[in-house]
Amino acid sequence: MTRNVALFATCLGDQLWPEVVEATVAVLERAGCRVTFDPAQTCCAQPAFNSGYHDEAKAVARRFVEIFERADASVAPSGSCTAMVHRYPELFRDEPEWRARAEAVAHKAHELSAFLVRELGVVDLGARLSARVAWHDACHALRELGVRDEPRRLLRAVAGLELVELRTGEACCGFGGTFAVKFPELSTAMLDHKLSGLDDRVDVLSAVDSSCLMQMRGRLQRQGSRVRAMHLAEILASR
């Protein structure tokens, strides 16, 4: 049965990494979904929420709810944005009407790999990539959404791909949104620890979050590394 899916592009996908958004659409369609995109969508409200501006976050979250509550399901190529949507009921805990609407939307909000494996039962998407790929467990996806095995199952089904487990696989990359701006020295130290797990076997570093990949890609480029940063969606869309 064809699933109707509303795509949440995310701010980083829209502004900085549109290739990830395009790849997400390609992957969902390959998995048999009918994908729609509402150009009126904006942010998930995570930056404001994490900075303590909860009233401002509510305004953005209401917009998200209004746009996505009509969808059968929403899918984002981001664990952190999906985790934020799952926090909406907490954000509206003192507003019963909005809390009910937020709970309904949160229940239908999915990170890409979890949606493919848990909801669709899809693992092999016919992708092909000849590369040794190291996997980064993004904090929100792993710790808030419980996403760990799903991306690994998807990667192991990619023809020509060898999955390399990082010694620092579950370590934070140090991004944390505004954390990297407010505490750059600490953020960089965490990032260097993360990347210390890479070795000569690795061709590609991958994750479910563009924010983590942006952080790690920037450091790798500054270090002159040959390792490429690729979102999971880009790998799954490859032929």
pTM over 0.85: yes
Strands (E), the chain: 3-7, 33-36, 74-76, 109-111, 128-135, 159-165, 204-207, 228-231
Does the pLDDT value for residue 190 go beyond 70?
A: yes
pLDDT of 89-112, one tens digit each?
Answer: 999 999 999 999 999 999 999 999
Residues 6+ apart with CB under 8 A from 218: none
Q: How confident is the model at residue 1 (pLDDT cuts 50, 70, 90)?
A: low
Share of the chain above pLDDT 90, in %: 94
At 59 the pLDDT is 97
pLDDT, residue 39, reads: 96
Strand order from edge to edge, sheet including 204-207: 159-165, 128-135, 204-207, 228-231
CA–CA distance, 47 with 185 (Å, rounded to integer): 20
pLDDT reading at 189 higher than 80: yes
How high is the mean pLDDT of the chain? Answer: 95
How many CA atoms does the CB half-sphere of 147 hold within 13 Å? 31
CB-CB contact of 227 with 220 (8 Å): yes
Q: What is the mean pLDDT of residues 140-147?
A: 95
